[in-house]
Structure 1
Amino acid sequence: MAGVSLQCGDCGTLLKSVEEAQEHAELTKHTNFAESTEPVLNLVCSSCGKPCRSRTESDLHTKRTGHAEFVDKTSEAITPISLEAPKASDDVIMEEAGDGSSSSQQEEMVVPEVDQKLLEELEGMGFPKARATRALHYSGNASLETAASWVVEHEKDPDIDEMPLVLLSSKNPEAPKPSLTPEEIKIKQQELRERAHKKKEEEEKQREREREKERIRVGKELLEAKRIEEENERKRFAFTLYILFYLHLKYIYIVYLLDFFCLYFNSMLALRKAEKEEEKKAREKIRQKLEEDKAERRRKLGMPPEDPTAAVKPSAPVVEEKKSSLPVRPATKAEQMRECLRSLKQNHKDDDVKVKTAFNTLLTFVKNVATNQNEEKFRKIRLSNAAFQDRVGKLKGGIEFLELCGFGKLEGGEFLFLPREKVDIAVLNTAGNELNSAINNPFFGVL
């Protein structure tokens, strides 16, 4: 296969034509070139039509513009490389200046041949003929899009509107034969050097801008990552404070609950002890009363006293010699209700659902009477009702609690009835409070 590109032996860059190889040599000082059968890539951006000659150039274009779709038109632009009319380089010009008398190597500058159809289309788009000819020549007559992209990229070149010239051998009789003086050769060399230097500076500036953009992007990403990390740290700190605060409140609640149970347990012990003392005093009084009645009956019957010492024995109770250190007071209505509910729960401690149902049913009866005092249907309960028996009647302590609220048996024990004049709102409120405490307190009846 014939060569379709020139490859630089120093850096491996693929070039389309001899002219590009000469420009590459001027920029990089590389002089080792060889023909290659590998074509130069022609990746055309689908969005803006810019041609890219390598993957690196397409990646750079994507990073700069965001365009990511490219059409591979490499096969359309493949043309065999021509080595017959290379663009004059500095070395060739110097050789011509040093050996200008040789008629066999005499060369002349002529306008390069370009695709006339593409040239007409570019002129129709509004480009000057010189600019269109230069674009088609340096883009290798590949396509209209490639030439237009070349014009856009090189529109700031100082000689963009000058007609390009290439060297042509004097054997061609149709080409004009202008000659260059040594001064013109030096000027041309200086222009080429300046152009190469300017192009190199522009490329360096472009690379610097790309590096600055990349640095800014990386800086923004680092700042965003740092902000996210700080936000996560604040969330973790706030969550830790919430957990600690929650545990602190829970600890305080447990301490208060334990204090409450301790006070409640102590008060219950004191109440039980006072009840036992009161019961003991009552039994002692009854015993003394029986002894006095017995002695009085014997006296009335004329019988001698059973124990002579018993007649003169003082009637003062022995229990009074030892006074209790705890205050003795009768049990209040609330304490009686509480004890009734506690016994109900302890008698049925294996069935919490039934106990809770009984408490809720009693609370419903109490609420109905308290809110509808004039309604007799709320103050009258049929004891033979199956639902009542299942929820309250069969449980020991349920009917007793209603009796403490003021209900009484009526009509031979068939009904529980609370007369209107015996409705005591204070007693009903106390019953409601005790039932609410029994329902909501999970430790009710445990102690």
Structure 2
Amino acid sequence: MAGVSLKCGDCGALLKSVQEAQEHAELTSHSNFSESTEAVLNLVCSACGKPCRSKTETDLHTKRTGHTEFVDKTEEATKPISLEAPKAAMDVDEPTSSSGQPEVCCEEMVAPEVDAKLLEELEGMGFPKARATRALHFSGNNSLEAAVNWVVEHEKDLDVDELPLVPANTKIEAPKAALTPEEVKQKAAELRERARKKKEEEERRMEREREKERIRVGKELLEAKRIEEDNERKRIMALRKAEKEEERRAREKIRQKLEEDKAERRRKLGLPPEDPATAKPVAPPVPVEEKKSSLPIRPATKAEQMRECLRSLKQAHKDDDAKVKRAFQTLLTYIGNVAKTPSEEKFRKIRLSNQTFQDRVGSLQGGVQFLELCGFEKIEAGEFLFLPRGKVDVSVLNSAGSELNSAINNPFFGVL
């Protein structure tokens, strides 16, 4: 496999080109280099895009900016290394040799000299030496604030952490007077205050983002709850519709059964089938004189009155068969208890305001009337239903029990 980097045998540093190896050798006096298949790291910060070439650089970047996410783009930037030394540029105005060819002068390149005190202060603030040197060199090497501003403006430069090189014979201007300790403290305080404000602004921005996210999640939860409630309402409506349809089919089935029974009875009696197109004749109204001269009408027996009372109760609540059946069973329990033990007063006295009694019997049309037909009387300003011991008629109670059993067990009771 072709080499993708040059490795310093003295310190283990990986270099991307021969030029970098030459610069490294000039700065460190290392001379043991070899071709390596180990690629130079290229870790790019996801937040600001700054490239880092080592774990140390990423740690320093995280400490200084707070950015922790890095993308490894080493493979994208990796390419076979060229071992050819870069050709020195030739100036057309340079002197030529006797053969007419321009004389090539390889000028020595060295790191620029910068103010040692300012460099030490920048390193104390967490900046790498190469970056601090570059910042002082390109900012004029005259103030700490100018160097920091240069770093802030050029922190995304690809070569921000590379040591700058200048010709060895370059004249270095004398640095301006160093800051006094008080000025250094003031500048440091200003820089810390600026960093604090920047951090607070970032925290406020993050808090706004989190609040937006909470609001968005809350809206999604409310919308999901609303959709769930709508679906539940639709499901309940569908169930009710299905129950009504089932009830309609049951009534239709009962009606057909009654029609079939009626036709069967006519057949057994030898009568012709009833013509559905023939309307039943309406009996003419009976004059008052004829009513007076007609036979006396037999009064309804107590059993018939009970039956009619139960039929009216079922007709009034025909949409709730369960409630009607529960009312019949409750009445049967009251009547059965009195018939079995007529001497027990607790079975012969019912509080009308009792919630259970009201739910099962009292609130239904005909429930109290049926008990009154059995002999119960309202006492104490209508607060109680009471059956006196002397008025207990077992035959009446038996008739009431028979009517209730018939109403409970006969599926066609109260239909017509």
TM-score by length of 2: 0.32
TM-score by length of 1: 0.29
